[in-house]
Amino acid sequence: MRILGIETSCDETSAAVVEETGDAAKPWVIRSNVIASQVPIHREWGGVVPELASRQHIRDICGVVERALADAETAWRDIGAIAVTQGPGLVGSLLVGVSFAKSAAAAAGVPLVAVHHLAGHIESLVLQNGELPLPAVVLVVSGGHTSLYDVDRPGRYRLLSRTRDDAAGEAYDKVAKLLGLGYPGGPIIDRLAAAGDDRAVPLPTTRLTHADRNAPQLKGDLDFSFSGLKTAVLRYVRAHDGPLADGEVADICASFQRVVVTALIERAFAAARRTQARSIGVAGGVSANSRLRAELKAHGDAREMPTFVPSLTLSTDNAAMIAAAGLRKFRAGSTATFDLNADAALPL
């Protein structure tokens, strides 16, 4: 069976065709994955402007879907189901995908599957690498989320911890903005950090020891916090006399990146010890980060722990991961009705 996936939760309009293989170890293959990025539109404003994002999704969605079908050499009659991101994300953006998917499913007479955006990021690991050795610990680290999940069987995600404040990608974007580097900040800081000294700027690490009052069911000691780090960079920059030289910017980037990556790696491996995980996966936009990828591999090799990341294209938002998660849900018997609504704060 082939499924059409649609993703419009933030600033990428994406459609993809993913097919089942029949091989339990490597269940899906990508037939097409078309991504129309809105980055040039939002760059001017230094971040995503929700109203501009939803309007651009409306302009792009028909063409992106047509292109995904054409690239996959797939006709509407060959599509067995349509999967769409229901949330979380920007509600106006989500609504474009959800409305389009409902209309297309009704017109084509195929089932509709509602997908959680983070389930998509988690399944991007399986789409890329095949089924992970379970139980697995999966770190989803993006512009909107930084969360650790225990995946004890395929398609079941149990939250272990999350950020108390900023997401890691959000911290990258904010630090890049305050350094005047542009949007999105993650790839820029990643590149500049290569030329910097990662010990040059003293920056704080935050380790939480108490449970969060808002989430008493979680122990809390594996939670993340990045807003103090961002504020420390801001203070450092403000205390600096005059404009920063290129070398100083590179040092700040490298030092900031070291602290972020260390926190992510430490907590992912601590979670894996706690759940006796047989593998660790890292997904979401920040998993494209070069230092995070390198340290994940090095730590995994040193501890004989298999580690997995998606390809760079599957790291950031895309519809192929939504199609994959949709196939997983469809095979588990879960379809949506036509009263499906977007949910900006959908829980996983």
With respect to Zn ion, which residue has the nearer C-beta, 9 or 307? 9
Reading phi first (left if > 0) and then psi (alpha if -120 to 50, else beta), residue 22 is in left
Question: Smallest gap, in angstroms, from Cβ of residue 304 to ligand KG4?
Answer: 27
Q: What residue spans of 13-112 are helical by DSSP H?
A: 39-43, 50-71, 91-108
CA angle 296, 297, 300 (to 5 degrees): 85
54-84 as b/e: b if 16+ CB within 10 A? bbbbbebbeebbeebbebbebeeeebbbbbb
What residues between 270 and 289 interact with ligand KG4 by CB under 6 A? Answer: 284-286, 288-289
First to last CA, the chain: 26
Strand partners, 279: 136
8 A C-beta contact, residue 53 and residue 10: yes
Regarding 142 and contact with ligand KG4 (CB under 6 A), the answer is yes
What residues between 167 and 186 interact with ligand KG4 by CB under 6 A? Answer: 169, 172-173, 184-186
With respect to Zn ion, which residue has the nearer C-beta, 295 or 317? 317
With respect to Zn ion, which residue has the nearer C-beta, 17 or 321? 321
Regarding 38 and contact with ligand KG4 (CB under 6 A), the answer is no
Using the rule CB under 6 A, give the single segment among 20-28, 76-84, 139-147, 211-219 that binds ligand KG4. Answer: 139-147
With respect to ligand KG4, which residue has the nearer C-beta, 295 or 317? 317
Q: How far apart are CA 85 and CA 129, in angstroms?
A: 22
5 contact, one of ligand KG4, Zn ion, none, CB 5-8 Å limit per kind: none
CA 119 to chain centre: 9
What count of Cα atoms within 13 Å lies in the side-chain half-sphere of residue 291?
A: 24
Cα Rg, the chain, nearest whole Å:
20
Question: Smallest gap, in angstroms, from Cβ of residue 9 to Zn ion?
Answer: 7
169 contact, one of Zn ion, ligand KG4, none, CB 5-8 Å limit per kind: ligand KG4
Using the rule CB under 5 A, give the single segment among 39-47, 85-93, 139-147, 266-274 that binds Zn ion. Answer: 139-147
What residues between 308 and 327 interact with Zn ion by CB under 5 A? Answer: 317
172 contact, one of ligand KG4, Zn ion, none, CB 5-8 Å limit per kind: ligand KG4
Q: Which two tokens stand for residue 83?
A: 């999967």
Diameter of the chain measured on Cα atoms:
65
Among 142, 146, 255, 307, binds Zn ion (CB under 5 A): 142
Q: How far apart are CA 242 and CA 255, in angstroms?
A: 20
8 A C-beta contact, residue 168 and residue 260: yes
288 contact, one of Zn ion, ligand KG4, none, CB 5-8 Å limit per kind: ligand KG4
Question: Smallest gap, in angstroms, from Cβ of residue 209 to ligand KG4?
Answer: 27
With respect to ligand KG4, which residue has the nearer C-beta, 5 or 143? 143
Using the rule CB under 5 A, give the single segment among 20-28, 89-97, 124-132, 135-143 that binds Zn ion. Answer: 135-143
Position 200: which residue type? A
Q: How far apart are CA 260 and CA 195, in angstroms?
A: 17
H or E, element range at 261: helix 246-275
Which residues are at the interface with Zn ion (CB under 5 A)?
142, 317
Which residues are at the interface with ligand KG4 (CB under 6 A)?
10, 142-144, 169, 172-173, 184-187, 190, 284-286, 288-289, 316-317
